[in-house]
């Protein structure tokens, strides 16, 4: 049972480049947006040490610093940015109901979903340690591969995304070791053949990652188990990339919003519209292809503009 109720013209669920950009555009359009930052304020970029591929930052910027700047820019135009996360929704009526922390009930004319997607990790304590401190673990080769130029790296995964990221890394790195946890790839034949044909990619089938090795600050190798022979090997590497998939943070919307088979929100092509009038999506909650800060920001802009047009058409 909610303790309070509030009416909102434009609610943005989730932060990160998509949510904050939507807030900037919605605030400038006098939509009085309210943004709840979610479980991870700032989104996935808060775990990224350096961002060098977002236009305008000549010398690069840290992920957390970039998110603070986006947040303050949204606040400058009047966006109401709050702590908390959505725990329940009801999109069955013309007014969209959203519950925050199971205690605040919001009645919203429009809702922009920018809850993102969470990278899946192996869950090893050593992996989580170096991920947290930014010492050599990543789930995005396109984001972080540049930092490992002419070095040796390891990537774990067996699908199309893993193959694509391994091939991308092969253009930057001296050597890429690919750990496939089973006896066969899950990737399409063409993607598998591409990595097999690449000279500086070594593929180790039926290998599990045992430990990420380092000096407590940076990674210097990976310990892996050959499940066929039982042999444990150490692979020299300064970077460890995890490409075992992402999980979109969309579970609370599935009763009302159309999702694809993997949980990503389905939007109308060329727009941010979902199947529910007045509910829009931005960022990685609907993007399983690009997953970049710049593309997320672009869809945040789209969602705010679509929401503005929706409200104008109702008036």
Which CATH number belongs to the domain containing residue 278 in this structure? Answer: 3.50.50.60
Give the mean pLDDT of 3-13. 90
Indicate if 174 and 72 belong to the same structural domain: no
Rounded Cα gap, residues 295 and 189, in angstroms: 28
Spatial CA neighbour of 55 closest among 45, 66, 46 = 66
Which residues, including other chains, have CB under 8 Å from residue 73's CB and lie 6 or more apart?
20, 24
Indicate if 97 and 137 belong to the same structural domain: no
Structure tokens at 145: 């591969």
Q: Has residue 80 got a pLDDT over 90?
A: yes
The three-point CA angle 266-267-270 to 5° equals 145
Q: Has residue 1 got a pLDDT over 50?
A: no
What does pLDDT average to over the chain? Answer: 93
Indicate if 114 and 125 belong to the same structural domain: no
Indicate if 177 and 228 belong to the same structural domain: yes
The answer to whether 137 and 240 have CB atoms below 8 angstroms apart is yes
What integer pLDDT is reported at residue 42 of this predicted model?
66
Q: Of 207, 242, 277, which residue sits at a domain end?
A: 242
Q: Has residue 180 got a pLDDT over 70?
A: yes
Which contiguous run of DSSP H or E holds residue 9? Answer: strand 4-13
Indicate if 81 and 190 belong to the same structural domain: no
Indicate if 230 and 195 belong to the same structural domain: yes
pTM of the model: 0.80
Rounded Cα gap, residues 93 and 113, in angstroms: 17
Indicate if 203 and 272 belong to the same structural domain: no
Indicate if 139 and 222 belong to the same structural domain: yes
What integer pLDDT is reported at residue 261 of this predicted model?
94
Indicate if 101 and 214 belong to the same structural domain: no
Give the mean pLDDT of 175-185. 96
The answer to whether 228 and 213 have CB atoms below 8 angstroms apart is no
Catalytic option among 80, 102, 108, 144: 144
How confident is the model over 258-272, as pLDDT tens digits? 999 999 999 999 999
What integer pLDDT is reported at residue 143 of this predicted model?
84
What integer pLDDT is reported at residue 3 of this predicted model?
60
Chain mean position to CA 205: 28
How confident is the model over 193-205, as pLDDT tens digits? 999 999 999 999 9
Q: Give yes or no: 108 in active site.
A: no
Indicate if 23 and 107 belong to the same structural domain: yes
Q: Which of 75-84, 137-146, 162-171 has the least mean pLDDT? A: 137-146
Indicate if 35 and 107 belong to the same structural domain: yes
Catalytic option among 140, 160, 208, 301: 140
Catalytic option among 143, 163, 287, 306: 143
* Confidence at 52, pLDDT banded by 50, 70, 90: confident
How confident is the model over 98-122, as pLDDT tens digits? 999 998 999 999 999 999 998 899 9
Q: Of 191, 220, 242, which residue sits at a domain end?
A: 242
Give the mean pLDDT of 18-36. 97
In the chain, the percentage of residues whose pLDDT exceeds 70 is 97
The answer to whether 26 and 109 have CB atoms below 8 angstroms apart is no
Domain count, the chain: 2
How confident is the model over 129-142, as pLDDT tens digits? 999 888 899 998 98
In the chain, the percentage of residues whose pLDDT exceeds 90 is 80
Which contiguous run of DSSP H or E holds residue 168? Answer: helix 160-170
Q: Of 242, 268, 288, which residue sits at a domain end?
A: 242
Indicate if 104 and 135 belong to the same structural domain: no
Query: What domain range is 20 assigned to?
Result: 4-118+247-314
Structure tokens at 65: 């610093």
What integer pLDDT is reported at residue 256 of this predicted model?
98
Please report, for the chain, how many H helices and E strands are present, in that order.
7, 17
Q: Has residue 248 got a pLDDT over 90?
A: yes
């Amino acid at each position: 049972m909610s303790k309070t109720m509030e009416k909102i013209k434009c609610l943005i669920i989730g932060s990160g480049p998509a949510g904050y950009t939507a807030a900037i555009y919605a605030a400038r359009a006098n939509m009085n947006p309210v943004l709840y930052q979610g479980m991870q304020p700032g989104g996935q970029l808060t775990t990224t040490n350096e961002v060098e591929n977002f236009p305008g930052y000549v010398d690069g910027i840290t992920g957390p610093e970039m998110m603070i700047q986006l947040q303050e820019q949204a606040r400058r135009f009047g966006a109401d940015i709050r702590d908390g996360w959505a725990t329940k929704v009801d999109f069955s009526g013309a007014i969209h109901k959203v519950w925050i922390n199971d205690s605040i009930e919001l009645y919203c004319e429009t809702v922009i979903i920018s809850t993102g997607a969470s990278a899946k990790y192996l869950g090893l304590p050593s992996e989580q340690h170096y991920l947290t401190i930014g010492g050599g673990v990543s789930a995005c080769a396109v984001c972080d591969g540049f930092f490992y130029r002419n070095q040796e790296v390891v990537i774990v995964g067996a699908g199309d995304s893993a193959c694509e990221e391994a091939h991308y890394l092969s253009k930057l790195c001296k050597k890429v070791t690919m750990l496939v946890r089973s006896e066969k790839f899950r990737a399409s034949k063409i993607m598998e053949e591409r990595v097999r044909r690449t000279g500086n990619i070594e593929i180790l089938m039926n290998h599990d990652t045992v430990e990420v090795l380092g000096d407590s600050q940076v990674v210097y190798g990976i310990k892996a188990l050959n499940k066929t022979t039982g042999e444990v090997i150490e692979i020299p590497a300064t970077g460890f990339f995890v490409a075992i998939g992402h999980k979109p943070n969309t579970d609370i919307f599935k009763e009302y919003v159309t999702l694809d088979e993997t949980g990503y929100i389905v939007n109308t092509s060329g727009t941010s519209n979902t199947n529910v009038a007045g509910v829009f999506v931005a960022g990685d909650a609907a993007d399983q292809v690009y997953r970049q800060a710049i593309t997320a920001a672009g869809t945040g802009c789209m969602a705010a503009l679509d929401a503005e047009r929706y409200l104008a058409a109702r008036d």
